Structure 1
Amino acid sequence: MTVDNQSQKGQPPVWRAALFGLCPECGGPTLFEGPVKFRDRCPACGLDYGAYNVGDGPAAFLTLIIGALLIAAALTLDSLVRPPLWVHIVLWVPLTAAAVVYGLRVGKGALLASEHQRKAAEGRRMDEPHD
């Protein structure tokens, strides 16, 4: 399966749904209600976003990665330029907040779109009846 392979016409690829907050079913820009909160359902096609279990995995993973990258950048800046402390505060606090929020949007959007396009569901034992 290629990255741009779509299971149905109108469905955006996972990367596009993640970057732009698109509904994985219809492609409308309706995935998020707030900065990182999913809507209950898509107003355009009615897809229930609550049926997908994205969880808090992206939060811990992305926060650690973004934190490590920004600490490395802050230490590099400090060793090269030696700016005053207020420069670090003015520069890194908003940059960290923006990177974490946008990273969470992308991470959560990618997981939801991936679950939808792969029709992910809870695991079942072979001897259990299907719905």
Structure 2
Amino acid sequence: MTPTLPASYSQAALRGIRCRCPRCGEGRLFRKWLKPLDRCALCTLDLTPQRSDDFPAYIAMIVTGHLMAPLIIALSKDFHLGPAAMFAILIPLAVTMMIGMLQPAKGAVIATQWWFGMHGFRKERIPEREAPTSEDTGAP
């Protein structure tokens, strides 16, 4: 199968966020929740060079913190909730957000590494069409 390469970084990152191969966009990226496959089953992209490590967790923490902060402020100002009620609302919500963001964040990190040719990945791009020459256009 000839892979349909993404036209831009954002398209490759979106494929990773969807937990799909950043190269072809069709194959699965993960064999377990956070364990990437060794190769894409469809385009045979070698995924072993990926080194996402802890970065997806940092992304999930930062996004969760920025989304939770306004909620915490609103709950404490507009609703007079006690500490137990605040914890009962916020802790499950924060944990759910963190867990829900980990796999898409890891997919985006792997797609970023692939797109920029980091850690042993090879940069692959759609071949740009060559600019027409004067011979092609018939100009003198």
TM class, shorter-chain normalised? 0.5 to 0.7
**Alignment partners' CA distance in 2, 1:19 and 1:101:** 14
Q: Which residue of 1 aligns with 2:5?
A: 11
The 1:41/1:76 distance shift into structure 2, 3 A limit, reads same
How much has 1:62 moved relative to structure 2? Answer: 3.1
Query: After alignment, is 94-103 or 63-72 more displaced?
Result: 63-72
Preserved contact between residue 40 and residue 46 of structure 2 (Cα < 8 Å): yes
Q: Which runs of 5+ in 1 are unaligned?
A: 1-7, 123-131
Preserved contact between residue 18 and residue 105 of structure 1 (Cα < 8 Å): no
The 1:33/1:21 distance shift into structure 2, 3 A limit, reads same
**Larger relative contact order, structure 1 or 2 (CA cutoff 8 Å, min sep 6):** 2
**Alignment partners' CA distance in 1, 2:27 and 2:79:** 42
Q: Which letter maps to 2:5?
A: Q
Identity across aligned pairs (percent)?
A: 23
- Superposed, which structure 2 residues align to 1:74-113 within 5 Å? 74-85=72-83, 87-113=85-111
The 1:75/1:53 distance shift into structure 2, 3 A limit, reads same
Preserved contact between residue 35 and residue 101 of structure 1 (Cα < 8 Å): no
TM-score by length of 1: 0.67
Structure 1 position 36 matched with structure 2 position 30: no
CA RMSD of aligned residues (A): 2.6
Q: Which runs of 5+ in 2 are unaligned?
A: 121-140
How much has 1:38 moved relative to structure 2? Answer: 1.9
Preserved contact between residue 13 and residue 112 of structure 2 (Cα < 8 Å): no
Q: Which residue of 1 aligns with 2:125?
A: none
**Alignment partners' CA distance in 2, 1:29 and 1:89:** 40
Q: Which letter maps to 2:23?
A: E
How much has 1:101 moved relative to structure 2? Answer: 2.2
